[in-house]
Structure 1
Amino acid sequence: MIEKIKRGLKNNLQKINPWKKQRLNISPERQNSPVGLCLIVPASALKNLGEKEPINISNIERLIDNASYFLCTDIDEADDIFERIETTTEDIKTVSEQREVYVRINISDGEDMIGKKIPYILKRNLPHYGSANIIELACLKYLSISGLEKFNRI
């Protein structure tokens, strides 16, 4: 009798586990793959923000609102894009407030943001958990289409 109960429980657990795996459908790669949010904003939008620093969701939303160009993509493509953009070594804190600046933010768990072409939808898909860090800040040498072809223009 006890053996029959054990088999029944085992069968029930086997039925439940596949359902749980299917329902959750979370892979380790998805959880650990940050995205690169690339923005072109005026220097005035970078108040109190610095390179290699964490950034909160409200500041990311503010930067998106101030962006003239934006793109959210995987980390490798974000690296390639930065290499194609012409930047200067000028200190961002000393340039004109209207000067265009490239900002790259790595966001963990932001896969739902990749490929979004409308700022509102990009902001709506910002994860409210995880972490975000400013990876690159650089003044643009020229605000020309060169290097910005993959960006979405606002």
Structure 2
Amino acid sequence: MNQDYQDPLEIYQEQFKEIYAAIKNRDRGYLYEAITYLDPENSEDICHYFGIDKNSTLDNDFKFCKPFLSSPIKDLSIFEHFLLKEIAKMKEEAERQVVELANFFAPVKDPSVILTGIIIVAFILPALYFFSQKLQPRRKLNKTTNIRQPQVKGRDRSLEPFKPRVTGLPRKPSVLCLVLSSRQFSGLNPGLQIPSSRVKELISSASYFLCDGSLQAIDQKVNLNFSGSSINFSSEEYAYIQLIIPEGEGMIAQETKYSLKKKLPDGDAKINKIARLINLDGLENFICA
């Protein structure tokens, strides 16, 4: 069995929790921010295409999301003339299955449930956007769909088809620092190479994290009180680990554990340092998970 395999449902649940925590205290732009978390590189194009305003209120965001929640196939005719016959046959069944979901969201006033609906739509829109770009030009889509027009006036730029990033230059390494329970350190030692799947486990368990581009930069930011004694692997007390991530340039300055894991390249990482902490002083430059 592939040790790097992760259950898609587990990944979705973890992403959902992190996005919810990130947007729940905002006063505007909930859907915009959720999409930015999911796809930071393409979020601007996605939001512009669907007319999602970063200053939109909670009520306006939810009004926009309702058609997607009530009947994502029937109410959105975006694919009506382009569906393959096999997919078209599934339309009636899909509409029947979403009736229950529609009834659930129709009278909703609870902000927590509204945010849940907004996050669900945030997962849907990037897929719709990239699929629609393959089906037809954007200008033609705007004439034949009920998707609202962009709210930003005077902005009319054509969108280029999505292209994967291609570069002949290798990415620079990064230095990832984590503070987490000592129980997570069992079997880990300085100098050890660990797979990306293990790094993701450590990130998920971390209470504090920091990622920068060099050891010198980390030394300037990390001012923790390290203990000279060995780590007690059966203890819940906090300990510190420093990892060198080859080609981990994209992880630098990320502000969520989800984005760290998303930017984590495949391959092994080297444990540069492990240390027991005397206390939690000196975490000012770390991000609290």
TM-score range normalised by the length of the shorter chain: 0.7 to 0.9
2:270 corresponds to: 133
User: Equivalent residue of 2:219, what SS?
Assistant: helix
User: Equivalent residue of 1:78, what SS?
Assistant: helix
Aligned residues: 124
Give the TM-score, by structure 1 length. 0.74
1:77 corresponds to: 217
1:101 & 1:25 partners in 2: Cα distance? Answer: 37
| Cα shift at 1:46 | 1.0
1:150 corresponds to: 285
Using a 3 Å threshold, how does the CA distance of structure 1 residues 87 and 128 change in structure 2: closer, same or farther?
Answer: same
1:90 & 1:96 partners in 2: Cα distance? Answer: 14
Q: Which of 224, 234, 253 matches 1:115?
A: 253
1:93-134 deviation digits (Å, cap 9, x = unpaired): x365211101000001000000110101110110014x4100
**Higher RCO structure (Cα 8 Å, ≥6 apart):** 1
Which segments of 5 or more consecutive residues in structure 2 lack a partner in the other structure? 1-164
User: Equivalent residue of 1:62, what SS?
Assistant: helix
Q: Which amino acid aligns with 1:97?
A: S
Give the TM-score, by structure 2 length. 0.41
| Cα shift at 1:34 | 1.6
CA RMSD of aligned residues (A): 1.8
Larger strand proportion of the pair: 1
1:124 & 1:35 partners in 2: Cα distance? Answer: 14
Q: Which of 75, 79, 86 matches 2:225?
A: 86
Q: Which of 163, 168, 179 matches 1:40?
A: 179
Does the CA-based 8 Å contact 2:186-2:233 persist in structure 1? no
1:24-47 deviation digits (Å, cap 9, x = unpaired): 4444xxx26321000001100112
User: Equivalent residue of 1:112, what SS?
Assistant: helix
Q: Which amino acid aligns with 2:189?
A: G
Q: Identity of counterpart residues, as a percentage?
A: 31
Which segments of 5 or more consecutive residues in structure 1 lack a partner in the other structure? 1-22
Using a 3 Å threshold, how does the CA distance of structure 1 residues 80 and 73 change in structure 2: closer, same or farther?
Answer: same
1:118 & 1:78 partners in 2: Cα distance? Answer: 18
2:230 & 2:277 partners in 1: Cα distance? Answer: 11
